[in-house]
Amino acid sequence: METFLSIHQDAILGTLSTFDRMIFKGHLTRFFPDGAFTRFLSQQGVLLKDFSAYVQQATRILKAHAHQLAQDAQRPYLYLASATTKASGQSKEDLAREIAARDGITQGLICVFSVVEPCLSFAVRGNRETHRLEIVREWRKCLHFYFYYLDPEFGFMHVRLQSWFPFEVQVYINGREWLARQLDQRGVRYERYDNSFTHIADLRLAQDLCDKFAHRRWPRVLDALARRVNPLLTTIRKAGFGGYYWVLDQSEYATDVMFRDRASLEALFPALVELSMTAFGAEDVLRFLGRKLHGNFQGEVNTTLKRRPEGRRVKHVMKRNSLKMYDKWSNLRVETTINNPREFKVLRVIQTAEGRQRRWCPMGKGVANLWRYAQVARQANARYLDALAHAQPKGKAIAELDDLCRSRVVNAKRYAKFNPVAADDCRLFAAALAGEHALNGFRNKDLRAQLYATPATSSDEARRRSAHVSRLIAKLRGHGLIAKVKDSRLYRVTERGRRLMSAALYCRNKEFPGFVLQAA
């Protein structure tokens, strides 16, 4: 079986798959049921009319704690007048990195930022019907604290704390920052470009470390970070309202294909961009992300191309989840971003009337599913790379096209030749390769729907079309381009078929534009 890696193996050093950007969020969920926060205030001896004074005092405690952490570490505490510093061309992360470089920080707290940002919080409002005060949840703005660290384990990271109840916490880490620290501890040499590795001396060890990363006991790690910045957690736990429930709010999982040098990637990358923009339809994007196209699908799939200072980026989006391809110096990166995990499934044990059973259920954001995030994203990246395998058909694929131009005898039966650049044959190849057939295969009627623009006007015409497509299917089978699925009437494209039919379409659409214009 030829894959992207096997076809281009002479130019590739290896691959590395792991998490990139990860944003965890912690929620004090026991505050959220109706009446729960009112009970908490009652336990603290706080009347609803005194709500404002109580929560303002809580905010002062958090602010004083943030100041104290900065003072103890002799690091700056800065108030930012805007929720974003990008208007000045510098993000909060860039500013923190600049401070770390300026002050020579190699470990520990870099700085603390405070900034007013929107949040979902609690407030007390009067109910006109009951004439009583009530706790409601609503959007407002409050002070947030950003604690930037050069952590001994995770490298550059930050923890954000909301200063108003319910004190939501956000933790940002980067999987490749973590990996760099792990390789340093083990004395493994590597080379980096920005947030990517262009060379690792022991790539197998690096991948093993990345595979274990997804199976950590994340609640324990994240709870320790939350305790560091929120001194009110002890009070909340003593009141019986527990700790944070942790979710993975956003994640990027990237597969880096490490080319030997920049020139090798540059020679291939334009063809990869062209193929991904022109040949991958909505059905293909769904297939890459492990979904099947069906009539009940409600959503939008789109593809965009963006030019960046570093190069070009192709992005496919499906219901807030995305698949990207771009170049980072000598690395080809394919990256799956999961913002809406319920579009994917996870195997769970659930209680039913018949007892405990395993069932595939929509995947939630809980950190217990982190291993499944990695599995889904890595499979999506692999499917995308394999679809790019013949972006530049060459070598064996081009040589084998000549074989399609000759008739073939199989089991004493002769099958007519194909013309790899003829319009009719290429239309047949495109129909067989259509993305909606990739998961389940296709039947006679599926090819008919692809090859004929309008439905048959009579039963006789329908039979003639069916017979014609049956002969085409037999011809495809005779040349080894498709194979029959056992005990069914389904057919699937073989590896040989995917290789040769993709090469034929490439040659017709790209290598012979003059021929296409004449045939049109």
As a three-state string, the secondary structure of 198-236 is EEECCHHHHHHHHHHHCCCCHHHHHHHHHHHHCCCHHHH
Indicate the residue among 167, 194, 228 that finishes a domain.
167
Indicate the residue among 392, 419, 452 that finishes a domain.
392
* 195 and 341 inside one domain: yes
Residue 225 lies in a domain: no
Beta bridge mates, 116: 143
* 193 and 315 inside one domain: yes
Residue 33 lies in a domain: yes
**Taking all residues of the chain, what is their mean pLDDT, rounded to a whole number?**
88
* 309 and 296 inside one domain: yes
**E strand spans, 353-441:** 355-362, 408-410, 413-415
Pick the range with the lowest mean pLDDT from 16-20, 31-35, 161-165, 290-294: 290-294
What whole-number distance in Å separates Cα of residue 266 and Cα of residue 263?
A: 5
Q: Could you give phi then psi for residue 440, rounded to 5 degrees? A: -110, -5
* 354 and 438 inside one domain: no
The position carrying tokens 């909340």 is: 236
Share of the chain above pLDDT 70, in %: 91
CB 390 within 8 A of CB 502: yes
Residue 335 lies in a domain: yes
Q: Interior CA angle at 348 toward 344 and 351, to 5°?
A: 130
Pick the range with the lowest mean pLDDT from 64-78, 245-259, 337-351: 337-351
CB 119 within 8 A of CB 139: yes
Of the candidates 103, 114, 113, 96, the residue with the CA atom closest to the CA atom of residue 74 = 103
More reliable by pLDDT, 267 or 244 = 244
Residue 237 lies in a domain: no
- pLDDT greater than 80 at residue 166: yes
> Which range in 185-189, 277-281, 485-489, 492-496 is most confidently predicted, on average pLDDT?
185-189
* 260 and 275 inside one domain: yes
- pLDDT greater than 70 at residue 253: yes
- pLDDT greater than 50 at residue 515: no
Q: How many residues does the chain have?
A: 520
* 203 and 338 inside one domain: yes
Indicate the residue among 377, 392, 407 that finishes a domain.
392
- In the chain, the N- to C-terminal Cα span, in Å, equals 35
Residue 256 lies in a domain: yes
The position carrying tokens 């994007």 is: 285
Residue 107 lies in a domain: yes
Residue 431 lies in a domain: yes
Q: Could you give phi then psi for residue 439, rounded to 5 degrees? A: -85, -45
* 316 and 188 inside one domain: yes
* 144 and 201 inside one domain: no
Structural domain that includes position 20: 1-24+174-214+243-392
Containing 345, the helix (H) or strand (E) segment is strand 345-352
Count of the separate structural domains present in the chain: 3
Pick the range with the lowest mean pLDDT from 299-303, 457-461, 462-466: 299-303
* 140 and 114 inside one domain: yes
| pLDDT bucket at 519, cuts 50 / 70 / 90 | very low
pLDDT at position 405 is 86
Share of the chain above pLDDT 90, in %: 61
* 388 and 400 inside one domain: no
* 148 and 295 inside one domain: no
Query: For the segment 304-361, what is each residue's pLDDT rounded down to a tens digit?
Result: 888 776 678 999 999 889 999 999 999 999 999 999 999 999 988 887 777 888 888 9
For 307, half-sphere exposure in the C-beta direction (CA atoms, 13 angstrom radius) is: 1
More reliable by pLDDT, 86 or 221 = 221
The position carrying tokens 């930050």 is: 158
Residue 236 lies in a domain: no
Rg (CA), the chain: 29
Q: What CATH code is carried by the domain that includes residue 486?
A: 1.10.10.10
* 93 and 116 inside one domain: yes
